[in-house]
Structure 1
Amino acid sequence: MTVSEAESDTFAPAFIAPQFVQARLAGVSVPGYPGGVIPTTMAQGYAVQEIAIDSWPDELVGWKVGLVPPQHRERLGAERLAGCIFRKNLWDAGATPTPFRSISGGFTAVEAEFIIRLGKDAPEGKTDWTAEEAADYVGELILGVEIAGSPLATINALGPPVVASDFGNNDGQILGPVLANWRDIAWEDMGVETIINGVSVGKGTAASIPGSPLAALAFLLGHVASRGRPLKKGMLVTTGASTGIHDVVAGDTATVSFGALGQVECVAVPAR
């Protein structure tokens, strides 16, 4: 597809996806939405995401779940959205802050997450799930951090279909402690606080995620099955930003504290 075609009034997933992929691989920003015509439905956003997943040179190891802001839900017919996580953007937290990239001129944020690792393969054809059914597929509950990131600075302002179109605005995942006895703890008792550069910017609990992390998992199980990508054993699912979305730039440090349950420290560095 030529640039002139891409700059027409036609929505062109086959042009848009490679622009996001190339910018992400190079660690550079894009000046605006590629082609100028943004997706207006979730189906259009996922059409771009599907092409990008297939062309990304890495293994798909998990998915992120985010909320669709309330003002968009009726129009879009969606409460949540999904993005993708790849192996090279998956890190284990250590004794020192985990570095993650921030694309200059793009978007970067830190999100406190309750992360589920699948304990068994999900059935291929099942697209309707309850939270109770989803609970049977939880292998581990992990405390961690999602790195929200995109080459497009205005990704969130342009709306959920745009977010979906660029990997769901995901640029990495940091895995912290495993909460082995999670079934014995009430969601509201799993507290979390996000601290940026020494300043508290948000507090919440696992109950801050509407319907609990299991409701987010139930959505994701059905959603990816409908796309022919059912979850497999070992895959990871981030269930939602439990303290909010906290913008950062290169040089910022973040601590996500789960109180007595553990914490994750990380630092934003310039993208290369």
Structure 2
Amino acid sequence: MTPAEADVFALLLASARRDGRQVMPPAILPATPQEGYDVADAVAAQLGWPRRGWKVAATTPEMRRRLRASEPTRGPIYARFVQASPAVLPFASLLDPLIECEIVLRLGVDLPARPEPWTAPEVQAAIAGVHGGIEVAECRFPIDALPAMPAILADGAANGRYVLGAEIAGWRDGDLAAMPVTLAVDGAVRRSGTGAEAMGHPFHVLLWLAEALRQRGQGLAVGDLVSSGTCTGMLRPAAGQRLLARFGESCEVALDLR
């Protein structure tokens, strides 16, 4: 894309965000992930919405295949779209929603941009809490007209709404990779998995994200949430459903779609 074309695309996506609507993909789209992330940064700057953290997706080979991604992806979490569990969302306002159960990391210190790479011990020491969460992924492009992944990255990697549950008890000493995660719809379990779906371990996701942002001269801030990728795959919900995600034995996250 030329800079002028990228500006036009960013204006289109920012307008769709403000209006809560979908748009058809234009003829000229980002050709590479770098171009997609450049447009996403421009969209975020135009919106000026406070960011609450970052989402990461495509953390397993199967999810990358389904999402047509060559590597994990990332997008901002906007503070206005984060709610505490139990939550209620009007289904009619959602844009082709997909439900994902995710382990959410909360930072206790900054991980700022710097010249040297981050290490696993450094990013793990930055975690102040681990929560259960439900992501309601949305896309500004209709599901039957989805463009290639660089354009999805420009749309914040299809970021949407987030429901944050309580802190997972014993997360410091327990094995998050082995922790069972389930999603029930109206009382019946429909999806299941473990924390290992998040790149083998949710802490690996944080290291990947810190490095990906560092390479663009960006960082993470104290209090940021990092939604570490779905543990249960994707589920297309319907109006009137009650969704209940369970993370191990101690954490439940509830969402009603009305």
Q: TM-score range by the shorter chain?
A: 0.7 to 0.9
What does 1:207-222 correspond to in 2, within 5 Å?
Answer: 207-222=196-211
Residue 16 of structure 1 corresponds to which residue in structure 2?
9
Q: Secondary structure at the match of 1:246?
A: coil
Matched ranges for 1:31-70 at <5 A: 32-33=24-25, 35-67=26-58, 70=61
> Which of 128, 132, 136 is equivalent to 2:117?
128
Deviation track 1:17-53 (CA, whole Å, cap 9, x = no partner) reads 22222222212222x21x2223231101101101111
Compared CA separation, residues 41 and 69, structure 1 to 2 (3 A): farther
Q: Equivalents in 1 of 2:73, 2:45: separation in Å?
A: 19
Distance in 1 (CA, whole Å) between partners of 2:165 and 2:119 is: 27
Deviation of the 1:226 alpha carbon: 2.5
Letter in 2 for 1:224: L
2:83 equivalent among 83, 91, 95:
91
Equivalent position to 1:150, from 123, 139, 150: 139
Question: Paired residue for 1:172, among 157, 161, 165?
Answer: 161
> How far is 1:119 from its partner?
1.1
Give SS of 2:114's match: coil
Output the amino acid matched with 1:145: I
| 2:29 aligned counterpart, secondary structure | coil
Does residue 115 of the first structure (1) align with residue 104 of the second (2)?
Answer: yes
- 1:73-88 paired onto structure 2 within 5 Å: 79-88=71-80
Q: C-alpha separation between the residues in 1 aligned to 2:96 and 2:69? A: 26
Aligned to 2:237: 248
User: TM-score with structure 1 length normalisation?
Assistant: 0.83
Q: Which secondary structure state, in structure 1, belongs to the residue aligned with residue 165 of structure 2? A: strand
For the residues of structure 2 that align with 1:209 and 1:215, how far apart are their CA atoms? 8
Alignment correspondent of 1:267: 256
Distance 2:201 2:172 in 1: 12
Runs of 5+ in structure 2 lacking a partner? none
Conservation of the 8 A alpha-carbon contact between 1:64 and 1:240: yes
Q: CA deviation at 1:206?
A: 0.9
Report deviation, 1:195: 1.9
Contact 2:109 2:126 in 1 (8 A): yes
Contact 1:110 1:245 in 2 (8 A): yes
Distance 1:101 1:44 in 2: 33
User: What's the secondary structure of 1:167's corresponding residue?
Assistant: coil
Q: CA deviation at 1:65?
A: 0.5
Instruction: Determine the C-alpha separation between the residues in 2 that align with 1:190 and 1:198.
Output: 20
**CA 1:16–1:206 in 2, change beyond 3 Å: closer, same or farther?**
same
The match for 2:214 is 225
| Deviation of 1:198 (Å) | 3.8
- Equivalent in the alignment of 1:3: none
* In structure 2, C-alpha distance between the alignment counterparts of 1:102 and 1:224, rounded to whole Å: 33
Give TM-score scaled by structure 2 length.
0.87
Q: Secondary structure at the match of 2:141?
A: coil
C-alpha contact (below 8 Å) 1:11/1:37 kept by paired residues: no
Distance 2:192 2:59 in 1: 20
Which runs of 5 or more structure 1 residues have no equivalent in the other structure? 1-5
Taking the aligned partners of 2:200 and 2:237, their CA distance within structure 1 comes to 28
